[in-house]
Homo-oligomer: A and B are copies of this chain.
Amino acid sequence: MPARPRAPGRATILDVARRARVSPATVSRVINESARVSEAVTAAVLDAAARLDFRPNLVGRNLRAARTRNLGVVLPTLTHPVFAECLQGLEAAARAGEHAVMLATTGYDPAQEDGAIESLLRHRVDGLVLTVADAARSKLLDKLDREQVPYVLVYNQLGSRSARLRPTVSVDNRAAARQMVEHLIGLGHRRIAMVAGSFRQSDRARLRHRGYLDAMRAAGLPGQPALEMPFMSTDARLPLLDALQQRQRPTALFCSSDQLAMMVMRDLQVLGLQVPHDIAVAGFDGVQLGTLLTPTLATVVQPTPQIAATALDLLLGLIGGQRYLAPALLHHTLRLGGSIAAPAGPTSPTLPAAAEQCVRSHHPL
């Protein structure tokens, strides 16, 4: 049994070189397979490295190489499953490409975006994958452009008239939203409202609202402004109550995200309304958890694994020196779950008696 190495895991390339009676350069060559080395020497080096529990110090390598094979990922939150799934995909793809992932979350707060990115850049990540509040008018992205930092946006999508062109990976949010709303209209819904995350925090939400308006207008129906809700809120009852107390209560709610849709479904039920019988609910994202709900959530499915894989692919391309990058528009699909159905007959214009009281008394959920 060999003696325990002095400071285990801390042997350097020089220690290995000495033990194998070769130069440090040769050790490096063996480790990285960066040049041909004779079989005998290779074996000696490998043996020495193994005996010493040699673990290459990537900090040293990175300093020397002026690149780190580290990627920064900046997302609003992981509480929202679509981002957790995306991160999962990014990490797997990064690992497959021999890169490591450094993570930062911003809590949908543009102020935190700057600090997060700055920290990542100090660590000299080779590139960034990020979802920002507003891709079209982001000082941060301007900065990244100026400094020529490779980055790819996920989920963010630039309007067609946007001045800047930036690398994005997303679905066609507007078209996808329109398609879902058209589906609702096809089922017979006429009064459809949209619930959205706050527009300031999400360019996606704005585009999806446009798609909603497109569909409504095309059908000659009155589109409404979105019912905006801050992203991190956990209770939709009061805004919902507002919407439902309108003279013409909507028979369907199109939500700008699955997270929102799930919350809305729960709160509608708390208010005493049956989904989909009393009111239909549709989401946007296609998170797996939607299939675990009862009824299952009808939603626009974004191909999150492909979004992640594509983003990483593009990013590695950019890092590799590729120049121009067209925005990648991936295909969405509709998942028609049990949360939508044709509208019931003429609905009563009043809420269940329970609803009002339920909200006012702040009944815990």
Output the nearest chain B residue to A264 by Cβ-Cβ distance. B292
Q: Cβ of A293: which chain B residues have Cβ within 8 Å of it?
A: 266, 292-294
Interface residues in A74-100 by Cβ distance below 8 A to B read: 77-79, 81, 84-85, 87-88, 91-92, 95, 100
Question: How many subunits of this chain does the assembly comprise?
Answer: 2
Contacts of A59 in B (CB 8 A): 59, 62-63, 68, 123-124
Question: Chain B's nearest CB lies how many Å from the CB of A208?
Answer: 20
With A60-B63, A291-B365 already in contact, the answer to whether A55 and B118 are too (CB < 8 A) is yes
**Distance between Cα atoms of A286 and B292 in the complex (Å):** 16
How many A residues touch the partner, as a band? 35 or more
Which residues between 122 and 138 of chain A lie within 8 Å of chain B, taking CB atoms?
Answer: 122-124
Q: Which of the residues B9, B56, B103, B291 comes within 8 Å of A103, measured between beta carbons?
A: B103
Determine the chain B residues whose CB is within 8 A of the CB of A104 once the complex forms: 91, 95, 100-101
Nearest CB of chain B from residue A257's CB, rounded to whole Å: 13
Q: A292-B262, A294-B265, A294-B293 are in contact. Are A77 and B68 (CB under 8 A)?
A: no
A124 touches B57 (CB 8 A): yes
**A78/B68 in contact, CB under 8 A:** no
A55 touches B122 (CB 8 A): yes
Is A8 interfacial (CB 8 A cutoff)?
yes
Interface string of A204-247 (1 = CB under 8 A from B): 00000000000000000000000000000010000000000000
Residue picked from A9, A68, A263, A265, most chain B C-beta under 10 Å: A9
Cβ-defined partner of A288 (8 Å) among B63, B79, B146:
B79
Q: Find chain B residues with CB under 8 A from A116 CB.
A: 95
A148 close to B (CB within 8 Å): yes
Residues in B whose Cβ lies below 8 Å from that of A262: 289, 292
Docked complex Cα distance between A148 and B262 (Å): 45
* Chain B residues near A147 (CB-CB < 8 A): 8-9, 53
Interface centre among A85, A92, A120, A147 (most CB of B within 10 A): A147
Given contacts A59-B68, A123-B100, contact A105 B92 (CB under 8 A): yes
- Chain A to chain B: the 8 pairs with minimum beta-carbon distance, closest first: A84-B84, A262-B292, A78-B88, A78-B84, A9-B147, A8-B147, A58-B122, A59-B63
Q: List 12 A-B contacts (CB under 8 A).
A: A57-B63, A58-B124, A78-B91, A81-B84, A84-B84, A91-B103, A91-B105, A95-B116, A100-B104, A101-B102, A101-B104, A263-B292
Residues in A lying within 8 Å of B, measured CB to CB: 8-9, 53, 55-60, 62-63, 68, 70, 77-79, 81, 84-85, 87-88, 91-92, 95, 100-105, 116, 118-124, 146-149, 234, 262-263, 265-266, 269, 288-289, 291-294, 296, 365
